[in-house]
Every structure is written in C-alpha cells, then in structure tokens.
Chain A
Amino acid sequence: MPDPNPLGATPDVLVIGGGTAALCAAIAARRAGVSVRLLEQAPRGLRGGNTRHSRNLRFMHVKTTPLSTGPYPETEFWADLERATAGTIDAILTPLLIQGSEDITDWLEGAGVHFQSHASGVLPPSRKTAFLLGGGKSMLNALYTTAERLGVVLNYATEVQDLSIRDGRLEQVTISSGGHVHTLSPRAVIACCGGAQASRDWLRTHWGDAAEGFINRGTPYAEGKVLRSMLAQGAVSVGDPEHAYLVAVDARSPDDDGGIATRVRCMPAGIVVDVRGRRAYDEGGDTASTRYALWGQRLARFPGQIGHLILDARGVRAAPPSLYPPLSAASVTALAEVMGIDPVALAATVADYNAAVRASDDPGDTAAWHSVGLDPPKSGHALPLTEPPFAAYPMRPGITFTYHGVGIDAQTRVRLTKGGAMENLFAAGMIMAPNIIPRGYVSGLALTIGIVFGRLAGQEAARHAQR
C-alpha cells in the first residue's frame, strides 16, 4: 500500500526530470508564482541527464553576437530544419521553437548561466550555435542553484514510476524514493524525463539482438517509464521507436554515460572493416561533422554491431586525441589477430585498397587522393596504409537519443489519440523532441528544444495550476 505524500507538501506543479528541460520548466513555473517540486531519478552527483554531456545550443539571431560568428535568421533556421527532417516539419511547433530560441541565451544568462565568447579564440567557428562555458554541467549547476534560490524543492534519487490518467486528466503520480513508493496528486505535471534509450529491454524490442551491440552514450537514467506509461494510457506517439541518433563510438567505452569523449572521428584517415575483414562503405565520402552520425547508422548494420577503423602510423599521427589509445601491431596480420578479425581477409582488403589508391594531381592535396576500381570506393583522403605500426579503433554504434516521444499541442499539453489534449499533463525536452525532429538532426537543437519548450511548459503549467 503506497503511503500518501511523505515527500512533504503536494506542489502546484510537479516537474519530472532533472536536465535542461526540467530546470527551465521548474524555474519558469516558480517565477510565475506557483509552488514547484522537481523529481530527479539520478543521485545528486549524476544529476542532469544527457544535458551533462552537452556543449552548444542553436539559437536564432538576426544580428551578430559575441556568442556566434554571424547572424542566423529565422528563414535559415527553418530551412535547416526542413532539410534535416526531409520536409516533415511541424507547422505549429517549429515556429514556436525558432522564435522562442531568439532570447534563450539572455534568459539563461538571467538564470546564472555563462556562455563562452568567440573572443576566447579556442572555439570551433559556429554561426548558428552558442557554446556553454564549461559545458552542460556548468549550465546545470547554475540552473539548479537558481531553482533552489527561487524556492523550487529538489528531490534527487527519486524516480517517477507511473502516472494514472483518467478522462484526459492526470490524477496521480507514483514515485519511488529511498526504497519506498509514494503518490502525489499535484495540480499539474510536466514530464521532462527524456527518452528510453538507456533501457536495454526497450532497445531489444525495437532492434532485436542488435541492441546488445549498442552503447548508450548518455545517462543510464533514461529508461522511459514515464514515456511508456503515457503511451499506454492514450497519449499520441510521435516519431519512430526504431530510429535512433547513433554515433560511432569506441567499442571499449562503458555501456552507459561515456559522453562526448568516446567518439571515433578519423574514418577518412583509414578504412573501416567488419569482423570478416571486409569494407562496406566509402570512408572518404563524408568529412563533415555529420560523418559521426552516418557511421553510427552503418555500424548498427555491421555483423555483431562492431567495426574496426584501420590506420597506419601516418593516420594515427593525424588522428585527433581519443579516449582510448588505438590497438596497435607491427603488421596488418598481427593487428587482425589483436582485433579478432580474419588475418588473411584483412591483409587482402588492405592490399586491394593500397593497390587501388591513386595520388591526386597535386600529391600534397591529400583530400583528393582516391581509389580506382575499388568496391566500395574511397572517394577522398585515400592515402595508402603502408607505414607500420598499424593501428585500429574498434567501434560500435553509440545511441544519443531515440526519435520516439509524445505528441504535444502549442501549450505543450500532451495530446491524446482520441483527440484533444491532457488538461494538466505537459511535456518538454527529448520526450517531445520528435514532434520537431522525427528524423535527422542539427547540432545544438536538443538543448534548444529543452529550453524553449521547458520554459513554455513551466509557464503553461503554472497558468493551469493557478486557475
């Protein structure tokens, strides 16, 4: 028998989650004058979900600001989203996002968050996104402090297990904390608890055995209980559970929470083979930052969801710093043994590749080196792999988020399959992001969605609670 209400007073607005969306919602609701309680499943030291791992956010700005290298007008933001989502843009929510993004850097600064100016001289040039000084965790520290100062009650290591929804109303929230189960019935609830990508069971239902080969780049506290509870009780499902934003990460990374440092980035410098020692894709074709995501998707289709980036000594020298040093051996066959790849096959693949490599007209222009008569080709950066020692990074698909969430209306209320929306259940952040990006991605968008819709949800929930 769950004992009622031992967490203390029932708040007007209950916020589920502890990342960007949750904090922006809690701060906005509290500023609107209602009492707010925030429940974060993670312990304090690991608070903040995937926001902890993030760095930059996308914002519309018509003038040049110190936070970016040039203007980024509304039309361009819209065009970027249209391209990324292959035209499946939400005509109501997307304008809210873009226009709402205009003042988010000011709003965050007002809540104690600091940005890194381009004057620091150490940022990659970025016209469309602003960089958080110290990254997502610094932002979280500032937002948590502000929330606490405003009087938001924070409960860590407190998990929402279930919601009870009846007749389009959220009646009760079931909470587990310190080994006890409690219930609360606040006037309004905002779900900001991200996706389900950390749940292996959930991944398996959509990806089958391949799920075993995935690495979760972010928080282990993203099991999707609240998402599933809503969907099971008539919330509109958006996006596609079988789509995930996957990035190539080092196969030696921990199962969860390896964060940004686990990325493997230098595919154009080598060749990528599967366990059979065979190539499957053009490694030189895509050198933009989108290549991480491209390789994530490809690795998900590799046998055993594992691939190996093979480099020679020159490639290793050119590689950016990595979390784990590459595995290395004096010869290609010895390397194959280390990696558990068929040595004969790998030696043949490397030999075929080296034989197919052609220098560009200007041999110094390494980007233009390419293969001839190779299938699949390597269309750029095709330098021969000849300088020992040889090295390899084992890679797996690293899941960032899934394109699966709940539908919301323009007030961020959770929509119902039978029509209409929940009167007192709101959603913000990755849990509703597929409304805007059911597929594709542009950098810095996830944070922006969390901030814009978190803030909006906080205001709307407060308005509802005050009614």
Chain B
Amino acid sequence: MPSDERRTEARRVLGICNACGYCNGLCDLFEAAKHRPRLADGDLAHLANLCHGCRSCLYACQYAPPHGFAVNVPRALAEMRHQSYADYAWPRAFAGLLERGVLTAVMVGLGAVGLLLALVLWSLPHDILFAQHTGPGAFYRIMPWGWMLVLGLLPLAWSMLAFGMGLHRYWRAARTEAVTLTLRALLSALRDVLLLRNLSGGGPGCNDLDEQPSHKRRWIHQGMVLGLLLSFAATGVATYYHHALGWEAPYPLTSAPVVLGTLGGLLMSAAIAGLLWLKRHGDREPTAAVALKADYALLVLLLSVALTGLALLLWRETAAMGLLLAIHLGSVLAFFLLMPYSKLVHAGYRFIALLVEASERTRQRDE
C-alpha cells in the first residue's frame, strides 16, 4: 500500500476514535491519540508503534465493518507500523527488505544456510565432515573458532549498527517537547514491556482469536522472549567458558550452556508453535497482510534457529553433526542479518513509543 494511503487511513480512523473515545480503557493508544489531535505524520508513527496490535478495539468498535465508517484500527495501524519501519530503516535503500518480509527472510535464510553448507563442503574433506567428532573442540574441527567469530560477530555488529541508526532516527522524530527522560519513565516503560500491559485489554485480555478476550498471546509472546534470552545466555556462558576458562565446546549435557540452550530452544519452539497457531486460527480482519507475512517470516526464522540448535544438540555425536552445525550457524547468521530488516525491529520502536508515552504521562501527572 502506498505510504500516503496508509497515513490517510490511519488519520481517518484515529480521527473517528478521537471523536468517540469508548476504547480508552483498552490500552494507552486512545488517550495518546487524544493528546495528539493533529495526527501529524510523526504522531501517526508514534501511535502505530504504541499499538500492540491486540485487536480488542476492532471487536469493541461500533463503527467496525460492516458499518459504513469501516473503522479497523488494528489493521490501519499495522499498515502504518510497517510504513514507519520502512521510513526509519537504515540505510534507506534497504527499506524495501521490510516491505517484502517473506521474500527477504526466505532469500537471506536460504542464502546464509547455503553459504555455510558450501563453506564446510568446500573446505573440508568428506571423511572429516561426515566423521563422528566428540570431545572438546569437536565443533571447531568442522568450523574453526575464528571463522565462527567472523561469521557471527561481523553481521551482528552491522545489524546492531543498522538497528541502532533506525531507532535513533525514530527517537529523534518521536521525541516531543513533553518528553523528558526520567528514571521513573524508564522504569514505567520497562514494566510495560515486561508485563505487556498494553496487551491486556484493560484487564480481561485481548481478542487473540475471536470475540473472546484471552491472555494467550501475551503470555506466549513472553515465553518466546524468555526462550530467546535463555539461548543468548547459553551463547554468552559458552563464550565465557571458551575465552576465560579455556574450555572448548561441546559442553556436557549438564553444563550451563547446554541446559540454558536446551531450555531456551524448547521454550522458543513451543512458544513459536503457539504463536503460529494463533496466527493461523485467528480472525484475519484485524490484521494487515503485510504484518501477517512479516510475523510469519520472523517466527519461522526464529523457529529454524531453535530447532536446528536442538537438532545439533541431539545428534552432535553422530556423523550428521557437521552438516547440522553448518545449518544451525547458517540460520543464526540469517537471524543476525535480518535483525534490522524484519519484524524484530518492533521491539525497539515499541520500547521507544512506550518510553515516550511514559514520560508524557509522568509529566502530565506532575503538572
């Protein structure tokens, strides 16, 4: 959808919301919109990123289709959110990657896995690649530590830079005069992230699937995040073992990296399966096709990281380890590369939106 069409529609529906106001108990969006009655481009980006896409306001809306006003706030703001991801993407030339989320994920995913596979197939004689490797240093016989570091850290560093640039630009645009960063606002925003307060529909939950409120998506999402954090922790501990203690992977089944990684991988996989199930069975009305595709792309990418990690753990003492390692590292590489050009950016933009909101709120309260 062209960007001005998205803005026009977001402005239209939020204008109706501002004249109605019935949904102001569902989440922070509606009061925020009321405080920005001009609904300028920057306001729309802020409001779109504040919206958690919980869908409750569609079912609550007296003007939802088939009513002639055809108000569909979650859809209009999902479109608008994607517009803002593209608008603030860095470098600008890469914005198109976000608009074609599935294609991007498939290409980068296949490309990265292909690259790693090619690398091990080309660099290693088959009797080494397909041999059983056990004991410390087994993984590095397939891929030397230095290579892993280069393949991991370089893309990650680039992605962090690109992610950070996008967020920086967005922050500059979203930061109004009313926004003064205080510890109170920061804590309040962190609390909102931790509890996903805006995904609770003002108490009873959100319309994850249909007209019935539930807390499913809220808790499953946090389960996935926890799984992701555990996996990162596993990597962190492993790096520490390697560098500080000089212990080489693979680590024993009862070691911290393996336990953390396994728990993380299982939790992520289960949670992603849950989120995919919700997406498949949920009403399509409150979402936009572009958002749904981006969600699927990121979820499948994360799932492939988790599942290949678990597979590697399961079969690390077999002859398949070499290829499994390459595939897992490939999917991790794809994940790193796609961080700033996938739905994952929502985490940053949403945090900024919550921070802006929290600081405007604390300021209003102080006045």
Interface residue ranges, A against B (CB under 8 Å): 43, 45-46, 52-53, 55, 114, 116, 120, 122-123, 131, 133-138, 141, 144-145, 254, 257, 259-263, 320-323
B37 at the A/B interface (Cβ < 8 Å)?
yes
Contact B62 A259 (CB under 8 A): yes
Task: Name the contact of A137 in the complex, choosing from B30, B34, B60, B204 (C-beta under 8 A).
Answer: B60
- Check if B23 sits within 8 Å of A135, measured CB to CB: yes
Contacts beyond the supplied A136-B62, A322-B19: 9 A-B pairs with Cβ under 8 Å: A43-B66, A114-B213, A133-B25, A134-B26, A137-B64, A141-B59, A145-B212, A320-B19, A323-B15
Report A-chain residues with C-beta under 8 Å of the C-beta of B34: 321
Name A218's closest neighbour in chain B (CB-CB): B62
Contact in complex: B67, A261 (CB < 8 Å)? no
What is the interface residue range for chain B against chain A? 20 to 34
How far apart are B284's CB and chain A's nearest CB, in angstroms?
Answer: 15
Chain B residues with CB under 8 A of A259: 20, 62-63
B: residues with CB less than 8 A from A are: 15-16, 18-20, 22-26, 30-31, 34, 37, 56-57, 59-68, 201-204, 211-213
Which of B61, B62, B63 lies at the interface centre, i.e. has the most chain A CB atoms within 10 A of its CB? B62
- List 13 contacting pairs A-B, 8 Å CB cutoff, sorted by A: A45-B65, A53-B62, A134-B56, A134-B60, A136-B22, A137-B59, A138-B60, A141-B60, A259-B20, A260-B22, A262-B19, A321-B19, A323-B15
CB-based contact B25/A120 at 8 Å: yes
Most buried by B among A144, A254, A321, A323: A321
**Shortest Cβ-Cβ A-B pairs, 6 listed:** A134-B60, A135-B22, A321-B18, A116-B25, A261-B19, A141-B211
Q: Which residue of A lies closest to B59 (CB)?
A: A141
Chain B, Cβ-Cβ closest to A46: B66
Find chain A residues with CB under 8 A from B37 CB.
Answer: 321
Q: A137 and B62 in contact (CB under 8 A), knowing A145-B211, A321-B15, A323-B16?
A: yes
Set A45, A120, A134, A262: member contacting B57, Cβ < 8 A? A134
Provide the bound-state CA to CA distance between A64 and B131, in Å.
Answer: 75
Chain B residues within 8 Å of A145, by CB: 211-212
**Which listed residue (A114, A135, A137) contacts B203, Cβ 8 A?**
A114
Contacts A135-B60, A137-B61 given; does A122 touch B212 at CB 8 Å: no
Give the residue name and chain of the A residue nearest to B213 (CB): A114
Check if B62 sits within 8 Å of A120, measured CB to CB.
no
CB of B62 within 8 A of CB of A52, answer yes
C-alpha gap A163/B213 in the complex (Å): 38
Task: Verify B25–A45 contact, CB threshold 8 A.
Answer: no
A46 to B23, CA, bound (A): 18
- The minimal Cβ–Cβ distance linking A120 to chain B, given in whole angstroms, is 5
How far does the Cβ of B35 sit from chain A's closest Cβ, in whole Å?
Answer: 11
In the complex, A55→B15 CA distance in Å?
19
**A133–B203 contact, CB under 8 A?**
yes
Give chain B residues whose Cβ lies under 8 Å from the Cβ of A133. 25-26, 201-204
Closest to B28 in A: A122
Q: Which residues of A contact B204 (CB under 8 A)?
A: 114, 133
What is the CB-to-nearest-CB distance from A156 to chain B, in angstroms, rounded to a whole number? 12
Query: Which A residue's beta carbon lies closest to that of B19?
Result: A261
Cα(A252)–Cα(B289), bound, Å: 33
With most chain B CB atoms within 10 A of its CB, the pick from A120, A138, A141 is A138
- The winner among A45, A135, A145 for most chain B CB atoms within 10 A is A135
Q: Which residue of B lies closest to A113 (CB)?
A: B204
Q: Kindly report which residue of chain A lies nearest to residue B37, judged by CB atoms.
A: A321
Residues of A within 8 A of B25 (CB): 116, 120, 122-123, 131, 133-134
Chain A nearest CB: distance from B299 CB in Å?
28
**List of B residues within 8 angstroms of A144 by Cβ:** 211
A68 to chain B minimum Cβ distance, whole angstroms, is: 14
Closest CB in chain B relative to A353 CB, distance in Å = 27
Please, which residues of chain B bring their CB within 8 A of the CB of A141?
59-60, 211-212
**Contact between chains at A134 and B19 (CB < 8 Å):** no
Instruction: Say yes or no: A134 contacts B62, CB within 8 Å.
Output: no
Contacts of A321 in B (CB 8 A): 15, 18-19, 34, 37
Nearest-CB distance from B43 to chain A (Å)?
13
Q: B61 — which chain A residues lie within 8 A by C-beta?
A: 137
* Docked-complex contact A257 and B211, CB < 8 angstroms: no
> Which of the listed residues A131, A133, A141, A145 has the most CB atoms from chain B within 10 Å of its own CB?
A133
Nearest-CB distance from B50 to chain A (Å)? 14
Q: What residue of chain B has the Cβ atom nearest to residue A320's Cβ?
A: B19
Q: Please tell me if the beta carbons of B68 and A114 are within 8 angstroms of each other in the complex.
A: no
Interface centre among A134, A254, A261, by most B CB within 10 Å?
A: A134
User: Hey, which chain A residues are within 8 Å of B67, CB to CB?
Assistant: 45-46, 257
